Structures are given as C-alpha cells and as structure tokens.
Structure 1
Amino acid sequence: MPRSHGACNQTRPDAFFTCTTGDALIPGYRSISIVIAVFLAAGSTSLPREGPLPVPRSQGHGQPAERPEAARTETPQDDGKTAGNPNEDETAAAFAACREALRAAGADFEEAEAMSEGPSCGIERPIRLAELPGGVKVEPAATLRCETALQLVRWMEGSVKPSLEAAMPGEAITGLSQASAYVCRNRNNAAGGKVSEHAFGNAVDIAAFTLRSGATVTIRPVERDSTLEGAFQRAITEAACLYFTTVLDPGSDAAHETHLHLDVKARRGGYRYCW
C-alpha cells in the first residue's frame, strides 16, 4: 500500500484513505475523530468547574453548623400563607379513614371537640392520643390532628421499635415523652413571624423514650456519639423523614437541641424538609 510521510493517500476510489504520522499508518476516520474530540474538549471549557456544595450539618455536640440564609427557617418553601388554618379542607371521609387506620393499628385515643383560637390556630377534628400500639404511654397525652398521630404510630412501629431492638436487644419502649403537641404559637416560640405547625395540630415534639428497664433515652446532640444509643437516635431521626414532611433534630439549631420536631405540613410538589 502506498505511503507518504505525513500525508494522506487513497489506493483506489472505493477504498478508505489513510494518513501517516511518522512511520505509523492511521485510518483517516480516526484522524477525523481526533479533530472532533479536540473540538468538544475546547467547548467543555464553558461548563462550570464545580457543582453545588452540600449544606454542612452540625459540627458536634450542641454546635450546629452555619446554614445558608434560605435554610434558616423551620419550614422553607412555604405556600405563602401566614394566617388561616391550612387544614380546613380536610374532609369528614378523610378523617374517618385516618381514625379507622389509627384504631386498627392499636392506638388508644379519643375524639375531642373542635378547637379554635383566633384566625390562625385550631383543629377542626382533633384527637387526644393517650397510648401508642403495644402499650406505649404518651406522656402527657397529646392533642393532635389524626394524620399527625397516624404518622407517629407508623414511625414508632416501622423505625423506632426495630432500631431499639437492634441497638439494645431485650429492651422495649414503654413510654414516649412529648414536649409539645397542639399549642397556639409562632415558630420557635418567637414573638412574631409565621405560625407554627403546632398551632394546627400538625406537629409533635419528642423529648425522650422510657424503656422497660426503667432507663430513659433522652433526645440530645449525638452527631459524634459513637455509642449504640447515639446510633439509635441517628437512625430514628433519618427514618422519620419517611413518615413526616418536616424533621428537625438537635443538630438543626439551638431551638431543637432537646427534642425532635416532627410535622406533616403539606408543601407544593411533596417537598420534605429533613435537616
């Protein structure tokens, strides 16, 4: 086959042409590929060199990391409502279905009278939750929307109890200490600002679990706690986002250093906020 130094030749009209570089024989289509690759590489210089950085979490015991300004509120991506009850559209049929699911799960509760405190607080169909399945006492009994209570039951059965069995074999939860259920107030007990999900019965704060042995597992900063108790708390906190739309723990901010805030706030697009 004819060759020429640093040139391209074609042996016959229907054959591939070939190019040489030094003594190497290179198919012409590979030369074209090299040109295309160089062109694409040049175009890639306009792409961003770095993607978005992950938001930092807590730096340790009681030392929450700095967060972007947009993430400092308890529930970002709000629907813009600052007054009025977002649960007013809950139907009687939806409440009945929730009530039956709660009863079938084995929870002990009673229905209560509708509650209303001004234009922004209240529960149309509240329940008073006294006991979770398996005889777990809720201390004190919690006034909530049925949906909040149902997700609490599902979280306890699906995550908390199995996680405790893995961390502390032979133990069992006999009591759940709640720090706040329904209460008419603003977020983080602030004097102003947006109304808390507690004001709609959508939220519950978990402070501790009482165990069969008499021991107590208290919610606390465990970001760098390598004990099984620390692993237990981290596991149930992460899993809570499978059941609740907002999960805040001691690593979130100073207002939540002693409890888990769990709520069922509905957001556009099914957005969940688990920090």
Structure 2
Amino acid sequence: MPLRFLASLLPIILLLGAGLPAEGPLPEKKPEASETVKPAEEKTKEQTLPSGGEAPVPTPSQAETSVANPEAKPGPEAKPEAEVKPEPKPEGEGKPDVKPETEAKPEPVLTIKPEDGKEYIACLADLKAIGAIFKEETRIDDGNGCGIDKPLTLSTVLPGIALKPEGKMRCETALELARWTKDAVLPAAKVALESEGDLTTINQASSYICRLRNNAKTGKISEHARGNAIDIASFTFKNGKSIEIQPRDEDSTLAGAFQRAVTATGCLYFETVLDPGSDEAHEHHLHFDVIERKGGYRYCR
C-alpha cells in the first residue's frame, strides 16, 4: 500500500521540480525594411545589362519617375508639351480706332463756257430779224463760274414790246424769249385779253446775276449766273392793266387761262419752265432757262 502511494506521487514531484525556464524562446527579429529594399541606384546596377554591355541611360522623365516612386515601372517617354502660340489678333485689334484721313475733294473749278463764234453770229442775225433791240457787251467774269463769254443787253423783245428793266443775258436766251413772245404770248393775249389792248411790256424779275439756285447759300450755281435764264413777273397792256404771275391753277378767269397758256407753251422754247405751282421760290414769277440737258430732256412744272 505505501509503495503504490509513493509511486503515484513520483510523477507529480518530478513535474514540480522541473519548472518553467525564466524566459521563453523569442521569435527571430525580422530585418528592417531598409535592409530589404535596396536603393534605386543599386537596383539599376543589378539589372541585367544588354548585350552591348552598357546600361541604358534613363531619360529625364524616367529618372524623375524612379526617384519619385522607386517601385513604379518606367513608362513611355513623355513628349514635351507643344508650344502654345498666342492667337494672332485681328489687324487693328487692341489699337485705338484711327480713321484714315479722308482727303477733301477739291471743289470743281467752274469756268465760263465759251460761245461758238459761228453760232453766236447766227443768233445775232436771227435776233435782229425778229425785231429785237439789244446791245452787245464785253465779256463778264465775276468769278466762281459766274459770267457770260459774249453777253448782250436786251431792251426790246419785239417791236413795240419793251423788256423792263432791260436785262443782260446770252444771245440764245434773248432769242428764245423773243420767239416765245411772238408765237405764244401774243396769240394768247389776243384771244384772252383783247379788251386790254396790245401788249406793251414784259416785266422781268431777274436776268443775269451771280448767285446760287433760289438764292440759296449752298448748292449748285443758278442758270442766271451763266446768262441762260430770265424770270417773268408780269405783262402790261396798252390800257395800263398788268397781269401778274401768281398761283392760278384754280383761276377760272381769262387772266388765269392766259397765264396757264403762256406757261405751257414756254416749254416749247425753253428747256426749263418753273411756275408758281412748282415751289414757293417761284410763286410770283415764271422761270425760263436754256440749260443744255442730255437727250433734249426738258423740265416743265
């Protein structure tokens, strides 16, 4: 009995006597990251050299990539950025608007039209034959195109019919005035105003005068300034009665009919006829002129 008891205690005593060691086994210390990761330079050296025996020289972009990120694989060589050129500005952009100086057009030089010698002599002969009384004058030149190369002063339009006041004009103007008076005015007066007696005077408001049209400050030169025009203000008859030019479109009297008749026939002799119905500037006279127009065109209003 005692021997069995001792035999059972022996293993327990042996276990208690053995005990645990003061320090157990420690795991092996892992090498630090710096010992396992080699610098980029050493890795480059350890790479297998090409058959030529020389290591390729990394491009600047590859070198920068390897330093910034050692584990990154070198990519294709980066192309340099294309130079961006500034877009050209349209011509004149950015500059103050400078309008080119426009050259002032020179004013046209107005000259006095010379008379054709043969035509002038023929005109004088016709004017004498019709019975007009006139006096030839020396050349008129008032500047700015005003003047008459061969002027004359007309005092009597037809025998017994005076022009008052007498007027300076070209021979052609005087001749057409005489023809109109003979062929149109006298027949109309005989029919419409026979009771007034014979026509004795044609009263004119303007013959030659250096001015612009309608006495304006700007514009074209008047045909009066060239001796081509005459303005008729009234007609005086033997008994002293005068028929004045005035608006008569609605005048149903014989005087109205006379004025409308001589106005309408005026365009058979003159290239321009303006009556009181044309504008305010001609309310009290008839304007006649012999201006030359292309194609024989005549302006009658």
Q: Displacement, 1:132?
A: 1.4
Match of 2:127?
A: 102
User: Equivalents in 2 of 1:202, 1:175: separation in Å?
Assistant: 21
Match of 2:157?
A: 132
The CA deviation string for residues 84-127 of structure 1, in whole angstroms up to 9 with x for no partner, is 24632x21111100000000000010100100011311000001
Is 1:175 the counterpart of 2:201? The answer is yes
* Number of aligned positions between the proteins: 194
The amino acid that maps onto 1:101 is D
Structure ranking higher in strand proportion: 1
Match of 2:188?
A: 163
What percentage of aligned pairs have identical amino acids?
Answer: 49
User: Equivalents in 2 of 1:83, 1:256: separation in Å?
Assistant: 29
Structure 1 segment 75-224 matched on structure 2, within 5 A: 83-85=109-111, 87-88=113-114, 90-170=115-195, 171-224=197-250
User: Equivalents in 2 of 1:105, 1:209: separation in Å?
Assistant: 20
Change (3 A) 1:130 1:82: farther
User: Equivalents in 2 of 1:82, 1:229: separation in Å?
Assistant: 45
Deviates more, 1:165-174 or 1:182-191: 165-174
The amino acid that maps onto 1:244 is F
Match of 1:234?
A: 260
Determine which structure has more spread, i.e. the larger CA radius of gyration. Answer: 2
TM-score (norm 2): 0.63
How well do the aligned residues superpose, as a CA RMSD in angstroms?
1.3
Contact persistence 1:135–1:174 (CA under 8 A): yes
Structure 2 regions of 5+ residues with no counterpart? 1-106
In the TM superposition, structure 1's runs of 4+ consecutive aligned residues that sit over 4 Å from their partners are none
Contact persistence 1:85–1:200 (CA under 8 A): no
User: Equivalents in 1 of 2:232, 2:126: separation in Å?
Assistant: 22
Other structure's SS at 2:194 match: coil
Other structure's SS at 2:205 match: strand
Highest relative contact order (Cα 8 Å, sep 6+), 1 or 2? Answer: 1
The amino acid that maps onto 1:100 is A
User: Equivalents in 2 of 1:87, 1:160: separation in Å?
Assistant: 30
The CA deviation string for residues 229-261 of structure 1, in whole angstroms up to 9 with x for no partner, is 000000000000000000000000000000000
Q: Displacement, 1:82?
A: 6.2
